[in-house]
Each structure stands twice: as C-alpha cells, then as structure tokens.
Amino acid sequence: MKYISTRGQTAPMSFSDVLLMGLAPDGGLMLPENYPQIDRATLDEWRHLSYAELAFAIMSLFATDIEQVDLKALIDKTYTKATFNSDDITPVTRLYDDVALLELSNGPTLAFKDMAMQFLGNAFEYVLKQKNERLTIIGATSGDTGSAAEYALRGKDNIEVFMMSPHGKMSAFQRAQMYSLDDKNIHNIAIDGMFDDCQDIVKALQEDADFKAKYSLGTVNSINWGRILAQVVYYFKGYFGATDSNDETVSFCVPSGNFGNVCAAHIAKQMGLPIDRLIVATNENDVLNEFFNTGKYAPRKASETYVTSSPSMDISKASNFERFVYLLLDKDTDKVRALFGDVKAGKGFDVKDKLGDIQGRFGFVAGKSTHADRLNTIKKVHAETGRLIDPHTADGVKVALDVKKAGEKIVVAETALPIKFEETMTESLGKVDLPRPAHTVGLEDKPQFVTVLDNDAALVAAEIQKFVTAK
Ligand SMILES: *Cc1c(COP(=O)(O)O)cnc(C)c1O
C-alpha cells in the first residue's frame, strides 16, 4: 500500500516511511491512496477475534512493508491486559437503553490516546532499529497527548522527546503525570501561551526543512498516520462489542478537538463498517460543530480559544480535518491545497454546497456542549446509572442524547477517566471519591521536571540543540 499527501505534491511513500513523519513535505497530511474495503465475510470472521488479533487483521492491510511476524509481535506486545487492564482492552458498557460507552481510557495515562500511542512507541523503536536511525520527537499537548506520548516513549532506544504544553492550562493531575517523569530522553517544555501556540511552534520547526533534517524531527501529534490507524481498530472492536450481529448499525459519538479520534471512526465507516452516523461533540470551542451544521470552516486564533473544563478539546484548528476534506472533495488535491491555503491565511473556507454529502454520504452530525451541560450531564449520569464519567465524555453523552433518533444505537467514546479532572468532577458532584488506578497513587507528590519558555519557536529550537547532536 502506498501513501500520498492530501495536497498532491509528495511522491508516494511506504507505511514505515510515513510512520515516522509529521506533516508531508508539501504541508498536507499523508494517507493511503485508497481505504481497503472490508466485505461481509471478512467482517463475520473479525467479529470473533481478540483485540490483538483484530488489530493485526486491520493494520496488516495498511502496514504492508513491515514483516508480518514483526508487526504481529509489536501488536501482541502492545495490547495486553497488563497495560490496558482488561482482556477486552476496550470494553463496551451499557449506560442507557441504546446508549453505551466504548471504554478507551484504561491505559497508563487514563485517556484514549494511550490506545494509539502505546503502539506507536513500540513501532517507532522497531522501525528506527531497522533503519539504523535516531528520532527527535517534538509534540504539542493540551494534556492527554503529551502524557500518552511520554509514557509510550520513555526509555525507548534512539528516541528523544520534547513535549510542549501550555503553561498553567492543564489540571494538577495532568501536570503531575507528565512532569514527574525523570527519564533522560523525556523533556517537558511549558510554553507561555495556549495549546494552539504550542502546535504552531511544532509546525514552524517542522516547516524548517534544514533544522528538521539536521535534528531528525518527527512528531506524534494526532496528524501522525500510525496513530489514526491504531485508532481505527477500536471502532471495529466497539461495533462488535455493541451489537449481536453484523446486520445491525450503530452510531458513534466522539468528543472532538483535533478531529483525530473521529477521523478514525470516519475511516472505519469508509472501509465498510456498518456505522450509521458519526456524531462530533465539541465544547465551547465549536469550530467543528459549525462546520458540520453549515459547511463553513472558520478556525480561530489561539487568542479566541476558550479555556474550558474539557481542556483536551480546547482546539480551534482541527489538524486532522484535512484528511476528511480530501475525500469530501473527491481527492481533488489542487482544491484541498487552495482551501487550506485560505485557512493558513486566516480566511477559512465554506463548502456549503457539499453539506448534503457531509451529512448524507459521510454521515456526520455535530452538537455542542457547554460548561453547564457538562456539569449537568456528569450529575445526571451519576444519579441515573451510578457511573462516573469525565468532563470530555460528558460532552459526548450530552450531544448523543440531544441528537439521538428513536431506535438509534449510539456508542459514546469514553475519552478519559474522571480522576484526571477532579476539580470539575467536584464542581458537578460535590465531594466524591473518584476511583484512582493503583499506579497513579501519590502521583501529585512526586518532584516535577519542566522548563518554562516564552512563546517563541527559536527558544524551543535552542533547547533541542542542547540535547541532540546535529547530523
Ligand atoms: C485528545 C482528547 C480529545 C479530542 O480528541 P481529538 O482526536 O483531538 O479529536 C477528547 N477528549 C480527551 C480526553 C482527549 O484527550
């Protein structure tokens, strides 16, 4: 399988090349030339596979240039009960009649990002060894990506990690999770700014071709294809977990920010998984909600992004969105390049003539949840079901209940565990005992390691130069 760029000006590449990449050289995102089509017989076989078996069945269709026994070993090493706390890896649990949760947050950092990142950590180490190369990972995080990346890459051979986070914008638990790591290859950098500023620094460094080559820059941000692919797996698993037969359809509701998680659901649907609707839930940062309801994409500046109580969704420029737009525009790479040129110029774009396709052929729906909705939903779900859900998952449940059609089965992605967001949980429920997995007991009391820098890409570049020798 060959990979191409959404902007059409990058020579086709193999999976293991794309795995180590961030943005394509032409500024676009890499994706396969075609999504493989899964027929009914295959789907029937897959229904009975374990998580690791299913992951291998799906990923081997995409990772065609990795030795299949090696791929299998990487997957078997990644998706274990020891790491994800259950044999199912991603159990589906009932919330209401026809509304279930797909549990994606039982990994080391208690958010869904572990699902992909744990695989990526193992895959990176493997590919680097094969190629006899080193890699400098730079990343931007509003909390969950960074910790998931660091826990996946800590202590890995030939990998150095520089993770930028917005100074003072994460929860105490999230800060402790990241900054308490003392592995020599992990470098935490707190930027005086917002998440989007951190992301802009990553983009600026990536776009400096000379610096990028000299220091072997790579990324694990959600634009990385390997992450999206690993996430496709749990939509298949979640579908099988929520249904009794492949005659049924389900809708997925996904709390969204960078459009990575729901992009994986969209790809699963494109591959033929019987998904009815893809429900995109946003918080007050509702750029995607506006797009899926009107066709108008108007990303906002960092200064116009609200700090909310579902902070991992405080994103106003959805970096994975281009993969969907590419398909929406029938793979017209010139048009994609033009539209995202307009985005870069701060203008955004409007494809309202495509609204029929967006909502019909692609099945997208969107809704928005506010701070008050979040608090109410956490309280309502706890009172009615006894279950504690985190603020991001609450945004998903709120929107799912808002848009649900009679008879529609909706599976909401549980994107984090409540213990990560104790302040908001307490605001909603009053003093409450939040379950804390054993490996996180006493986390906030550990010493923390972080360097605070002004919002300036050059300062980050200098920090990298301190620790990485140029090629
Ligand atoms: C990252 C994250 C999201 C948003 O996911 P995207 O892939 O960026 O859309 C939602 N909830 C939580 C808890 C997250 O960590």
Ligand 1 binding pocket includes 416 (Cβ within 6 Å): yes
Q: How distant, in Å, are the alpha carbons of 306, 379, 411, 421, 427 from that of 376?
A: 20, 5, 20, 15, 10
| Residue 21 Cα to ligand 1 middle (Å) | 21
Residue 94, H or E segment: strand 92-96
Q: Which is the closest atom of ligand 1 to the Cα of 315? A: 8
Residue 223, SS3 per DSSP: coil
Q: Is 113 a catalytic residue?
A: yes
Nearest-CA residue for atom 14 of ligand 1: 312
CA 121 to chain centre: 15
Ligand 1 close to Cβ of residue 261 (< 6 A)? yes
The finding on whether 138 has its CB within 6 A of some atom of ligand 1 is no
Q: Is residue 345 within 8 Å of 337, Cβ to Cβ? A: no
271 within ligand 1 shell (Cβ under 6 A): no
Q: Does 266 sit in the ligand 1 pocket, CB within 6 Å? A: no
Task: Give CA–CA dist 288/212, Å, rounded.
Answer: 31
Task: Report the CATH number of the 87-108+236-429 domain.
Answer: 3.40.50.1100
Q: If you measure from the C-alpha of residue 257 to the centroid of ligand 1, how many angstroms do you get, rounded to a whole number? A: 6
Q: Whose CA is nearest to atom 15 of ligand 1?
A: 144
CA distance 320 to 223: 6
Does ligand 1 have an atom closer than 6 angstroms to the CB of 415?
Answer: yes
Task: Please identify which of the residues 113, 203, 212, 420 carries the catalytic annotation.
Answer: 113
Q: Say what the pLDDT of residue 194 is.
A: 86
Residues in Cβ contact with 366 at an 8 Å cutoff, skipping those fewer than 6 apart: 279, 280, 281, 282, 288, 289, 291, 292, 293, 399
Q: Tell me the CA–centroid distance for residue 133 and ligand 1, in Å.
A: 30
- 233 neighbors 51 (Cβ within 8 angstroms): yes
pTM for this entry: 0.93
Output the CA 311–ligand 1 centroid distance in Å. 9
Where are the alpha helices (H) located in 208-297, listed in sequence order?
209-214, 225-242, 261-270, 287-294
Q: Judge contact between 157 and 121, C-beta under 8 A.
A: no
First to last CA, the chain: 30
Classify 355 as helix, strand or coil: helix
- Per-residue pLDDT tens listing for the chain (471 residues): 999 999 999 999 999 989 878 789 899 999 999 999 999 999 999 999 999 999 999 999 999 999 999 999 999 999 999 999 999 999 999 999 999 999 999 999 999 999 999 999 999 999 999 989 999 999 998 777 889 999 999 999 999 999 999 998 888 888 999 999 999 999 999 999 988 899 899 989 988 999 999 999 988 777 889 999 999 999 999 999 999 999 999 999 999 999 999 999 999 999 999 999 999 999 999 999 999 999 999 999 878 889 899 988 988 889 899 999 999 999 999 999 999 999 999 999 999 999 999 999 999 999 999 999 999 999 999 999 999 999 999 999 999 999 999 999 999 999 999 999 999 999 999 999 999 998 899 999 999 999 999 999 999 999 999 999 998
Residue 408 and residue 251 in contact, taking contact as beta carbons nearer than 8 Å: yes
The label of the residue with tokens 């949760």 reads 101
Measured in Å, residue 2 CA sits from the centre of ligand 1 at 28
Q: Report how far residue 164's alpha carbon sits from residue 450's, in angstroms, rounded to the nearest whole number.
A: 10
Atom of ligand 1 nearest to the CA of 420: 13
Cα 384 → chain centroid: 30
Domain boundaries, the chain: 87-108+236-429
CA Rg value for the chain: 21
